[in-house]
C-alpha cells in the first residue's frame, strides 16, 4: 500500500478514469498469471438498484462510503437527506460522485479522514474489502473510523475464497502499462473468521441475487460518542485533472 494519504499508482490509471467518466466498460483487474476479473462499471455508474437500496436501509447515523467509485450509493443516501461522505483515491471517481449529487473527498482510507471514530456506518461495497490486499488490516482501520457500536457493511465475494494478489487495471485485457497494486478477494466464511479473531460481532449476513453481504459491529466499546459527527470538510478534488 502507498504511504498514508497518498493515492496508489493505479489511481491515475487511464483505463479506470476513462471508464468511470464515460460510465462504460469493459474494465478488468488483470492478475500476474493473465486471469481477468471483470469490473461492473455500468452497474457502478448507474443509479442505486433495489439490492443497493436494501443495504442502505440498514445504515445507521452518518455514513462513510470507502472506495465510493462513481458515487451511486453516496448520491442515493444524499437524496434521502442522510449525512454521507464518499472517499476514493481516484480523482475521476470523486468528480463523478460530486456531479451526481454526492459529497466526496479524494483520499486514501489509510490516511487522515474527517470524523474518525464517530461514523455510524462505514460501507465496503463492490469488492472494496479487497483494498490494500489485506482484509485484516482493512478491518482494523474500519474499527478506527467507526463509533462505539458502529456498523460495518461489507459486500463479500460470492465464492468461498480468500485470495491475495498483485493486479493491474486494464481496459481490454491487453494493456501492459500501469503499476501493479495489492488486492484481495474474500468470501463470507473467510471474512467472518478474520472478523471473529479481531473481536468483531456479526450483526447479519445475507444474499440478494448473486451478491452477498455481511454486517459487523465494532469490536469493543470506546469512549467516543455513539453518533457520528458530520464531516466538517467540504468536498474537494485534486487539482490534478482526472485523465
The pLDDT of residue 171: 83
Residue 239's contacts (CB-CB under 8 Å, 6 or more residues apart) are: none
Q: Which tens digit of pLDDT belongs to each residue from 60-108?
A: 999 999 999 999 999 999 999 999 999 999 999 999 999 999 999 999 9
Residue 223's contacts (CB-CB under 8 Å, 6 or more residues apart) are: 148
The pLDDT of residue 176: 54
Per the listing, cell 459527527 goes with 229
Choose the most confident range, by mean pLDDT, from 138-142, 164-168, 226-230, 235-239: 138-142
Among candidate residues 218, 202, 84, the one with its CA nearest the CA of residue 145: 218
Q: How far apart are CA 34 and CA 15, in angstroms?
A: 17
How many helices and strands (H and E) does the chain possess?
A: 7, 11
The pLDDT of residue 36: 92
Residue 47 has pLDDT above 80, yes or no: yes
Band (pLDDT 50/70/90 cuts) for residue 2 is: very low
Q: Which tens digit of pLDDT belongs to each residue from 162-219?
A: 999 999 998 875 655 567 899 999 999 999 999 999 999 999 999 998 999 999 999 8
Which has more confidence, 220 or 41?
A: 41
Q: Which tens digit of pLDDT belongs to each residue from 3-21?
A: 444 455 444 457 888 899 9
Residue 3's contacts (CB-CB under 8 Å, 6 or more residues apart) are: none
> Cα 97 from chain centroid?
13
**DSSP state, residue 132:** G
pTM of the model as a whole: 0.85
Least confidently predicted of 31-45, 46-60, 92-106, 119-133: 31-45
Q: How far apart are CA 232 and CA 217, in angstroms?
A: 25
Domain architecture of the chain: domains with CATH: 48-164+183-217 (3.40.50.150)
Q: What is the largest CA-CA distance in the chain?
A: 51
Amino acid at each position: 500500500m502507498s504511504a498514508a494519504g497518498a493515492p496508489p499508482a493505479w489511481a491515475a490509471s487511464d483505463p479506470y478514469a476513462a471508464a468511470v467518466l464515460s460510465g462504460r466498460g469493459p474494465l478488468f483487474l488483470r492478475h500476474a498469471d493473465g486471469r481477468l476479473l471483470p469490473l461492473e462499471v455500468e452497474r457502478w455508474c448507474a443509479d442505486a438498484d433495489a439490492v443497493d437500496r436494501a443495504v442502505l436501509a440498514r445504515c445507521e447515523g452518518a455514513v462513510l462510503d470507502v472506495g465510493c467509485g462513481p458515487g451511486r450509493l453516496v448520491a442515493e443516501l444524499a437524496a434521502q437527506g442522510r449525512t454521507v461522505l464518499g472517499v476514493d483515491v481516484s480523482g475521476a471517481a470523486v468528480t463523478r460522485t460530486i456531479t451526481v449529487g454526492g459529497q466526496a473527498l479524494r483520499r486514501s482510507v489509510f490516511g487522515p479522514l474527517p470524523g474518525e471514530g464517530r461514523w455510524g456506518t462505514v460501507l465496503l461495497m463492490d469488492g472494496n474489502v479487497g483494498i490494500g490486499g489485506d482484509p485484516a488490516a482493512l478491518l482494523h482501520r474500519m474499527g478506527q473510523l467507526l463509533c462505539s457500536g458502529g456498523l460495518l457493511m461489507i459486500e463479500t465475494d460470492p465464492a468461498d475464497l480468500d485470495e491475495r494478489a498483485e493486479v493491474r487495471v486494464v481496459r481490454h485485457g491487453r494493456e501492459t502499462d500501469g503499476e501493479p497494486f495489492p488486492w484481495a478477494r474474500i468470501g463470507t466464511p473467510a471474512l467472518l473468521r478474520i472478523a471473529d479473531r479481531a473481536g468483531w460481532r456479526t450483526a447479519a449476513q445475507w444474499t440478494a441475487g448473486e451478491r452477498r453481504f455481511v454486517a459487523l459491529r465494532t469490536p469493543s466499546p470506546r469512549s467516543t460518542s455513539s453518533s457520528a459527527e458530520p464531516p466538517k470538510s467540504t468536498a474537494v478534488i485534486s487539482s490534478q485533472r482526472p485523465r
